[in-house]
Amino acid sequence: MPLPDAVRDSLTAQFATLYGDRASEALAGVEAIAERYDLPAKQGELWDEADAVLITYGDMVRPDSGEAGGDGHALPAQTKWLLDHELNGPLSGVHLLPHFPYSSDDGFSVIDYRAVDPDVGDWDDVEALGERFDLAFDYVLNHCSAENAWFKAFLKQEKPYKDWFIVEDPEDPRLQQVTRPRTHPLLTPFQTADGTKHVWTTFSADQVDLNFAEPGVMIEMLDVLIGYAARGARILRMDAIAYLWKRLGTNCIHLPETHTALKVMREVLDAVAPGTLILSETNVPHAENISYFGGGDEAHLVYNFSLPPLLLDALTTGDGQYLNDWLRGLSEPGTGMTYFNFTASHDGVGVRPLEGLAPPERLEGLVAAVEARGGQVSRRTNPDGSKTPYELNCTYFSALGDPSAGNDAGARDAHVRRFLSSQAVMLALKGIPGIYFHSLVGTPNWGEGVAQTGRARTVNRRKFSRSELDEHLQTPAAAAVFEGYITLLNLRRAEPAFHPEAGQTVLDLGPDLVALVRIDRDETERIACLTNLTGSPVTADLSDVSGWRGGVDLIGGADHAQQVELGPWQTAWVKETA
């Protein structure tokens, strides 16, 4: 399809900003992409209260050896497990973490962007999953694998690939200004046909950064982007986009050129694959994070990265002061924008988003609590050479355990209740919820896996055979988490007050509680969402909620007037009486 004139004019201006006198080269590349695709617009609203996305690896559930298909693809085994449990009702979508051939980092070092990892399956398997669920794909755009064919051509110094990666002088003092998310050296030496070259590697020596200052890279990656939409992706997650553009003399994070590049991607998607949503992944302090909404012309969805550590802090200390302060100050996204709420993902719990929201001693307390529960802590290097925590490596379920409690039924039930209340808070918030697989099934820390790989993040990345997963779900804690989670999801999807654009008012009922009222878009239905953050009974007083008539707890079934009694770590969703 030809580009509309307005889109063409806008892209011309954007490319002039990025590429100067090479702007016409970039525009011609986009026009060629547009001519190859004619994708129908996605039907219906952008989102609604039924939206809930499972975050999972394509091989999270593998077939048992010896069963039909047991030596074959993993993704059909996971699809079957999801459908066997009828999860295409409680869950609207599945975010497949990188399902491409890779060389490291559990998929985030992509060898071939257009292929499916043969251990996962093939595109037919992905499309079969997409027949029952909306799909979200990872768009790993900052870097590719050192084994990628593009980088192999760079090593041979072949055109155009010799310009597709970033080479710098390791003695350049300006490199010290670059924000570092990891502790390894920023530049990695590689032997090329023209001698040793020091190549920019933000995340690891095996993950070489792409040079988006070269128009050819932009065009190639836009073709990958539209190709994913053509394969059925409804949501595209922009992995590590904050680091996309590099300019020495700056900190090389959140640069204006990065935002311009994202505007280009949004405009091309809107024109060629209308209705496809962009989710930005920027695990940084909150104000920086939400800048990726732009003016409604960048991401549709932004991860609420401050939620996981603040919620963990509140439930660990029994004090919701900092969580509630943040919730009350949460900015209202404009039309066509919303938050992607979550508590856990394939990574750990990022703690940079706590900066400016909670004092350092609360972070120190979280570090100690996670380590006491068998988790680990990853640290990054600061410009002055010091190291500070950037991520807590644990499952969210284990992080909310009590290492001093015994293994009796009472302690187990308290742990499950505390964990499910953490998820209920997330599900009640304005936005679209993302549920990591290991949260859905209540997986504890996988210390054995960390011992096998030597990588802290493995603690949260266990993969199951179907029989192992079935056995896990027969344990009392996992069974209770799974059943309780599905109940919450089914309740949520039935209530218009949980629409991503429905109203939200955060109440001030003291630090023992998280309390908010969701109001449907017609302002005819209200639900008071109340969570006790402590191990003692608490009363939530709703008498100051204007005109509150009392109602019934959707979770527990009890009727409540203006006083709602909550047991330890209990959550109530009280739907107001009509």
499 annotated ligand-binding residue: no
Token pair recorded at residue 84: 């066997």
Residue 346 among known ligand-binding residues:
yes
Distance separating alpha carbons of residues 563 and 189, to the nearest angstrom: 65
143 annotated as ligand-binding = yes
For residues 375 and 460, is the Cβ–Cβ distance under 8 A?
Answer: no
| Active-site hit among 239, 313, 512, 553 | 239
> Under 8 Å CB-to-CB from 317, ≥6 apart: which residues?
362, 365
Give the whole-angstrom CA distance, residue 118 versus residue 106. Answer: 14
The answer to the question of whether 380 is labelled as a binding residue is no
Burial tier of 514 (Cβ tally within 10 Å: 0-12, 13-18, 19+): buried
As a residue count, the chain comes to 578
Instruction: Please count the other Cβ atoms lying within 10 Å of the Cβ belonging to residue 535.
Output: 13
413 carries a ligand binding annotation: no
Whole-angstrom Cα distance, residue 259 to residue 293? 10
319 is in an annotated binding site: no
d(CA 229, CA 234): 7
| Residue 522 assigned as binding residue | no
- Strand 526-532 vs strand 571-576: parallel, antiparallel, or unpaired? antiparallel
Torsion sign (Cα): 359, 363, 364, 366: positive
Distance CA 351, CA 305 (A): 9
Best CA proximity match to 293, nearest among 329, 340, 337: 337
- Helix (H) / strand (E) element for 476: namely helix 476-493
Task: Give yes or no: 239 in active site.
Answer: yes
**Whole-angstrom distance, CA of residue 201 vs CA of residue 180:** 10
Q: Is 238 one of the annotated binding-site residues?
A: yes
Cα separation, 464 vs 474, whole angstroms: 14
Amino acid identity for residue 335 in this structure = T
Q: Could you tell me which residues are annotated as the binding site for substrate?
A: 105, 143, 237-239, 346-347, 457
Which residues are known to be catalytic?
Answer: 239
Q: Give the residue numbers of the binding site.
A: 105, 143, 237-239, 346-347, 457
